[in-house]
Copies of this chain bind each other. A is one copy, B any other.
Amino acid sequence: MSISRPTVRAAADAPFLVAARGGLPSRRPVWIMRQAGRYLPEYRAVRQTRTFLQMCYDADAATEVTLQPIRRYGLDAAILFTDLLVPVPPMGIELAFDPAPVLKRTVRTRADVDALRVPDPERDFAPMLATAAQVRAALSPDVALIGFVGAPFTVACYLVEGKGSKNWDLARRLLHGEPATFDALLAKITDALLPLVQALADAGCDAVQVFDSWAGVLAAGDYVKRCAPWTERLLAAARQRGAIAIDYVNGATQHVAAMADSCAEVLAVDWRSDLGFFRRQVPATKALQGNLDPTALFASEADLRSQVRACCDAAGPAGHVFNLGHGVLPETDPDQVRIAVDEARRAWP
């Protein structure tokens, strides 16, 4: 299958792109992590007749749910509906969502690592790339399209443990106990994801976000030496293809120095950190994205508005993309999201 090359892209003055390059856009750009999700009734309607993975592999369904929050809230960026584990089956490991991810095998030895396959994007990720092209064609030029992949460490966590874990002790034990195997695993995952990052950019994504959802369990030194260099290769690949690189590290505070050194234009900050602290610690050229606590969407309207304002004030007007610091929770009232979006745009010079 040949991937259609999009003729449209977000315009250079789209609020998301201006802010991502550190500038002062016409309004504060807003998008919401996991904005295409179960908190929306229109999402649940599409989801009702399909499994989560079926939706990821169905370009029309994925396009529809990707566009839903743009229609509802007029957001400044769409994020491709997919999952950071979608590359795992083409690497040779069966995957189910129950509803949390469960892998049929784990990867703990050098032989396990060597047995992993490197997917061919145009063959193995055709639905995802088709979704990107369709969504980009449907979006107006003032809205950016964001594609994403998991960071090598985060994907490694699932491959090593086979399912979710609180502290990912087995993954950290492999890092310390079998360093050569751990490094080979991250190299293999990077080999698998790098062509996907390039293909996403080529298929129409204006930006690629690398999700390091589990880097928060790592000591600062281990992250810098053993994990960040692999993430860096994915971020650099996005930039080389002309896409904005966004580095999201969940549990970011101890990794602020490493994030400051990354080549990403945008650092996406989890909800735990103070954005003012990040502003002081990272180069002024870097944009910040985030970082309201998703549970703040359960507060009263006055409290919610006050917290959104505090977040925007800490980030400042230029080079800030308002977002949550983690995915929106399924139990969230969609009207509370509207209030947060409204307040983020209201706080404008």
Interface residue ranges, A against B (CB under 8 Å):
164, 166-167, 169, 172-173, 175-177, 179, 216-222, 251, 253-254, 271-274, 277, 293-299, 303, 310, 325-326, 329
Contacts and interface: CB of A to CB of B under 8 A. Distances in A.
B273 A220 contact: yes
A195 to B, nearest CB: 32
Given A295-B169, A298-B177, A220 B272 contact: yes
B299 A176 contact: yes
Contact of A217 (B164, B176, B222, B272): B272
Contact of A273 (B169, B217, B254, B274): B254
B176 A274 contact: no
Given A167-B326, A172-B295, A254-B273, 10 more contacts: A166-B166, A173-B298, A177-B295, A216-B251, A216-B272, A219-B274, A220-B272, A220-B277, A221-B274, A254-B272
Contacts of A295: 169, 172-173, 175-177
Contacts of A253: 220, 253-254
A298 B176 contact: yes
A169 B272 contact: no
B166 A218 contact: no
A272 B219 contact: yes
9 contacts: A167-B326, A169-B294, A176-B299, A216-B272, A217-B272, A219-B293, A219-B325, A251-B251, A254-B272
Given A169-B329, A219-B271, A273-B220, A293 B251 contact: no
Secondary structure call for the A interface: helix
Contact of A177 (B173, B222, B299): B299
A274 B220 contact: yes
A114 B176 CA distance: 47
A221 B293 CA distance: 11
A296 B173 CA distance: 7
Contact of A176 (B169, B172, B173, B303): B303
Contacts of A166: 164, 166
A166 to B, nearest CB: 6
A249 to B, nearest CB: 12
A271 B220 CA distance: 9
Contacts of A296: 176
Contacts of A173: 295, 298
B254 A221 contact: no
A322 to B, nearest CB: 15
B254 A293 contact: no
Contacts of A220: 253, 272-274, 277
A310 B176 CA distance: 15
Contacts of A169: 294-295, 329
- Which residue among A167, A254, A273 has the maximum number of chain B CB atoms within 10 Å of its CB? A254
User: Considering the complex of A and B, which 6 residue pairs feature the smallest CB-CB distances, nearest first?
Assistant: A177-B298, A172-B295, A253-B253, A253-B254, A176-B299, A173-B298
Contacts of A273: 219-220, 254
Contact of A293 (B222, B299, B325): B222
A258 B326 CA distance: 23
Nearest to A250: B167
Contacts of A167: 326
